[in-house]
Amino acid sequence: MNSRKSGPLPVEELIARCLTGDVRAFETLVKMHQGQVYGYACRMVGPDAAEDITQEVFLRVYRSLHTFRSEAEFKTWLYRITTNVCLDHLRRVRRQGGRLLSLDSAPNGSEESPLGWTIADQAADPGATDPEVRAERRELAQALQQALSRLSDKHRAVLVLHDMYGFRYEEIKDILHCSLGTVKSRLFYARRALREELRPYLDAVGEWPASGASSAS
Amino acid sequence: MRCSLDLLLAYMDDQLSSPVRDRVRHHLARCPVCRAELAQMRAMRELLATVPAPTPPPGLVETIVGHVRFREAEQVRRRPQVRFWQGCFAGGAVAAAALAMWLVGSSWLERDSGVAAATALEAAVQEHIVYAALLETGAGDWVDWAWAPAGDRP
Ligand SMILES: [Zn+2]
């Protein structure tokens, strides 16, 4: 870990400091991970509840920081807590008969889509300056969120963790506390269901800008 | 080999052993349906991987850290509070000290009145804590308030 010497403190070090009551260290930890937690929560519960979920997750993290050991574990652990808080929330809302993952939270014509696909994000994308392209992508992003919301919570979790956050099967197994076979079968069904939802859009995806690997970096 | 979405997805994720991978590749070369299927699945994976992540609202970190600071401050504030049973225990200690003072005091008081005065003061402070604790825990009904310092009576 010599390469980190001059960079930001490794997670282990930050946690050790948090455990001595160093709130600044905790602040750094939150800054480093808030994007991941908030983003994952948006995909799991929709943008309305994602902020509260993120707060709840980090308070739980703070309360139980003493329970884990290494940086590799931390990420899995953080996503496990986030998943649990999201699933608890969804269960509670459903019990109360509420609507989930409401797409109405971004009113029609609003510049911000439920996926957080803001104008700023689009402007940062090469080739997204064309208003027509922008509108198309917003529509696609909304279709995607809507399609995600129609999956069962557990199927959605596996799909989001694997295809959006790049976790491997083994890691997802640990995050969700299930078997490897369950991860594989849920991913299979989730992808098949999502493909059916998105079929009308997928034919046009050839025009989508390539992933970060081939465009930006 | 028959058309299999399961195998196609495993192929896409690079999860196959090399003999099976070769069979899938061979099948793809002659099956336009599976080629189209794979292209769609790849497009979908690409879409999921590249859709921009939502940006957390400004001030979220400050809110979270604020909660934690508040909790920490709460804990510090609560620490010195005397709970009911601790209060009872302290009460017993005060009584024992008073008894000891009464027994020994008569002979010691003349010789070392400074020490006795300090002990008496400490006992008074302890007693104050005990009465305050009894009040806070709602045990006030069982207490003979005649003995409590004036300021501690309900
Ligand atoms: Zn085929």
Q: Which fold has domain A10-100?
A: Rna Polymerase Sigma Factor; Chain: A (1.10.1740)
Q: What is the CATH number of domain A119-202?
A: 1.10.10.10
Task: Render pLDDT for A39-51 as a digit per residue (tens, 0 to 9).
Answer: 999 999 998 899 9
Cβ-defined contacts of B36-41 (< 8 Å, 24+): B37/B3, B37/B5, B37/B8, B38/B8, B38/B11, B38/B12, B40/A195, B40/A199, B40/A202, B40/A203, B41/A191, B41/A195, B41/B8, B41/B9, B41/B12
Count of domains in chain B? Answer: 2
Residues B125-150: what's their mean pLDDT?
50
- The answer to the question of residue B87 being in a domain is no
In a domain, B6, yes or no: yes
What is the Cα–Cα distance from A216 to B53, expressed in whole angstroms? 16
Report which of residues A52 and A141 the model is more confident about: A52
Higher-pLDDT residue of A204 and A116 is: A204
Q: How far is CA B72 from CA A24, A62, A182, B111, in A?
A: 13, 11, 41, 48
- Does some domain include residue B141? yes
Closest alpha carbon within chain A to B41: A195
Q: How many Å apart are CA B43 and CA A209, to the nearest integer?
A: 11
The reply to whether B65 falls in a domain is: no
> Which of B44, B55, B69 lies at the smallest CB-CB distance from A198?
B44
Amino acid in position B28: L
Q: Write a three-state SS string for B20-37.
A: HHHHHHHHHHHCHHHHHH
For residue A196, pLDDT over 60 is answered with yes
Residues within 8 A of B (CB atoms), A 64-103 only:
none
**Cα(B27)–Cα(B47) distance, rounded to whole angstroms?**
26
Average pLDDT value for chain A: 80
**Cβ neighbours of B74 in A, within 8 Å:** none
Contacts of A102 by beta carbon, 8 Å cutoff, 6+ apart: A46, A48
Domain boundaries, chain A: 10-100, 119-202
Mean of the pLDDT values across residues B54-80? 87
Domain that holds residue B31: 1-53
**pTM for the full predicted model:** 0.69
Interface test with B, best of A101, A121, A215 (most B CBs within 10 A): A121
Report if residue B101 sits inside a domain: no
**Distance between CA A163 and CA B31 in Å, rounded?**
26
Is B47:A117 a contact under the CB 8 Å cutoff?
A: no
Position A106 scores a pLDDT of 42
Confidence of residue A201 (pLDDT cuts 50, 70, 90): confident
Q: Which pLDDT belongs to residue B76?
A: 78
Residue A117, both tokens: 């696909």
Percent of chain A with pLDDT over 90: 53
pLDDT at A104 (0 to 100): 38
Residues 6+ apart with CB under 8 A from A184: A169
Instruction: Using a CB–CB cutoff of 8 Å, tell me whether A165 touches chain B.
Output: no
- What number is the ipTM of this complex? 0.77
In degrees and rounded to multiples of 5, residue A60 shows phi and psi of -65, -40
CA-to-CA separations, A119 to A108, B52, B54, in angstroms, rounded: 15, 11, 12
Q: Which residue has the tokens 């998943």?
A: A83
pLDDT of residue B56: 95
Residue with the larger pLDDT of the pair A93 and B137: A93
Q: CB-based contact (8 Å) between A46 and chain B?
A: no
